[in-house]
Amino acid sequence: MGARAGAGAGCRTVAGMRDPVADLRRIAFLLERANEGTFRVRAFRSAAAALAGVPVAEMAARASAGTLTDLAGVGDVTARCVAESLAGEQPVYLRRLESTAGVDLDGATAAVRATLRGDCHTHSDWSDGGSPIEEMAVAAVELGHEYLALTDHSPRLTVARGLTAARLRQQLDRVAAINRALPPGFRILTGIEVDILSDGSLDQEPELLAELDVVVASVHSGLNDDAGRMTRRMLKAIGNPLVDILGHCTGRRVPARRTGPDGSGDRGHRAGRTRPPSDFDAAAVFAACAAHGKAVEINSRPDRLDPPKRLLRQAVEAGCWFAIDSDAHAPGQLDWLRYGCERAARCGVDPARVVNTWPADHLVGWAAAHRG
Ligand SMILES: [Zn+2]
Ligand SMILES: [Zn+2]
C-alpha cells in the first residue's frame, strides 16, 4: 500500500500512448505533495478536468494544430505537457518532478505506513481545501486507502469557509452519492473537524455530529489562552461523547519544508505562518483521552507536525489511542501520512494503538461506541 500512485498513476498508456490527463494529474499530485501552494497546482488540475472528456484523437489534432490552448483551462505549460505525452514522452515538467520526488521511507517508517488503511482528517473545497471531494477520493484510492474521512471545518471558522449545519447536511447527501459511484472496497466516511469553542463546547449541532462517522475536534481560536483555561476547554471536548479524535493538540505551526519542481529544497519561514504550541496540562489531557478512549491525532502536515515529539512520547506513556492523519487540503497532501508515520516510529507508537490501521467498519464502530 502507498506505492500505487507513486509507481503508476502517471504512466498509464492508451493504445500504446501515454495518458495526457493522467500525466497532468500526476504533476498536480507531486506539486501538492511537495507542499506547493494550491494556486500553483490549479493550472494542472484545471487542464486535466478540461481534457478529461476530450477524445485522444481530438487532443492529437489540436496538439499538432497548436489549438489546445483554445480549450478553457488549458494554458501554454499544460498544453506543452499534453503534446509531449501524446508524442509518447514523459513530459519534461513531470520528469523533473519525478526525479526529485523519490523520498524513500526508512524501514521503521515504512512499516508503520504499511499498517494504515485510511485517513481520518481531510478537507475539500467545501471548506478551505483546494479540490472537490471526488478528486480527494480518487487520489485516496490510488494511494491504496480503504477509506477517507471528509472532515471539513465548522461554521465559526469563517476564514476557512466552515460549513453551516445546512451545508453539512447537503454534503452528507453528496458523499452518499459519490460513495455509490466509487469502487467497492473504498468509501468516504462522513465527518467534521469541529472547533472547540472558548468554553469547550463544540461548534456544530449535537444531533448532526451524532450522525457523522468520525468527529475530529480541534482548537483554532484563543490559542493564547492560559494553561488552566486551555486545559479546561480541551478536557470538556475530550469528555464529550460526540468527539472521537483530538486534532493537532498544540496548534503549533512550524516552518514547512518545501521542495520546488527544480529540486531546490528550502526550509524558511513563510510570513505569519509559525505559531508556538499552546499551553495546557498535557498529562491531564492525555490521561483524559486514554480514559475516554479518544484518539490523539498525529498531524502529519509539514507545517504542523503536532504533537511535538516530547508530547507524543508522553501520550504513548499515557496509553492513548492515536490517529495518524494527513489533514490534507489537496489530493497530493494525502501522501503526507509518511511524515506522521515517521514521527510515530521515532516515538514508539505501536500501530496496534492507531485507529486508522483498522478497517472502516471497525473505526466507525469505535466512534459510535463513544456516543453510547
Ligand atoms: Zn485544524
Ligand atoms: Zn484540518
DSSP string, 122-181: E--TTTT-SS-HHHHHHHHHHTT-SEEEE-PBPTT-GGGTPPPHHHHHHHHHHHHHHHHH
Instruction: Reply yes or no on whether the pLDDT at 133 is more than 90.
Output: yes
pTM for the whole thing?
0.90
Residues less than 5 Å from ion ligand 1, measured at CB: 218
So what's the pLDDT on residue 8? 38
Distance, CA of 320 to CA of 162 (rounded, Å)? 29
* Residue 9 pLDDT: 41
- Band (pLDDT 50/70/90 cuts) for residue 10 is very low
Count CB atoms within 10 A of the CB of residue 76. Answer: 10
Distance 174 CA to ligand 1 centre (A): 23
Reading the block at residue 61, the C-alpha cell is 489534432
What is the number of other CB atoms lying within 10 angstroms of the CB of residue 95?
11
Q: Cα(359) to centroid of ligand 2, in Å?
A: 22
Closest listed ligand to the CA of 220:
1
* pLDDT value at residue 4: 38
Ligand 2 center to residue 152 CA distance, Å? 7
Predicted confidence (pLDDT) at residue 325 exceeds the cutoff of 70: yes
pLDDT at 372 > cutoff 90? no
Distance 32 CA to ligand 1 centre (A): 18
What is the model's pLDDT at position 265? 40
The alpha carbon of 312 and the centre of ligand 1 are apart by a number of angstroms equal to: 18
Q: Closest-lying ligand to the alpha carbon of 119?
A: 2
- What average pLDDT does range 102-120 have in this prediction? 92
| Mean pLDDT, all residues of the chain | 91
Q: Compute the distance from residue 217 Cα to the ligand 1 centre, in Å.
A: 8
Q: How does residue 356 score in pLDDT terms, banded at 50, 70 and 90?
A: very high
End-to-end Cα spacing for the chain: 34
**Confidence tier at 100 by pLDDT (50, 70, 90):** confident
Strand partners, 275: 253
pLDDT tens digit sequence for 326-343 = 999 999 999 999 999 999
φ/ψ bin of 16: left (φ > 0), alpha (ψ from -120 to 50), beta (otherwise): left
Give dist(CA 245, CA 102) in Å, integer: 32
Digit-coded pLDDT (tens) for 245-298: 999 999 999 988 654 433 334 433 344 479 999 999 999 999 999 999 999 999
Identify which has the larger pLDDT, 259 or 80: 80
User: What is the pLDDT averaged over residues 361-365?
Assistant: 98
Mean pLDDT of the region 2-31: 68
Q: Does 303 score more than 80 pLDDT?
A: yes
User: pLDDT tens, 159-205?
Assistant: 899 999 999 999 999 999 999 999 999 999 999 999 999 999 999 99
pLDDT band at 6 (very low <50, low <70, confident <90, very high): very low
Residues flanking ion ligand 2, Cβ below 5 Å:
193, 327
Share of the chain above pLDDT 70, in %: 91
For residues 204-231, average pLDDT: 97
User: Is 74 within 8 Å of 68 (Cβ atoms)?
Assistant: yes
- 320-325: average pLDDT: 98
| CB neighbour list of residue 234: distance below 8 Å, 6 or more residues apart | 196, 200, 219, 246, 249, 280, 285, 288
- Whether the pLDDT of residue 208 is over 80: the answer is yes
Confidence label for 40 from pLDDT (cuts 50, 70 and 90): confident
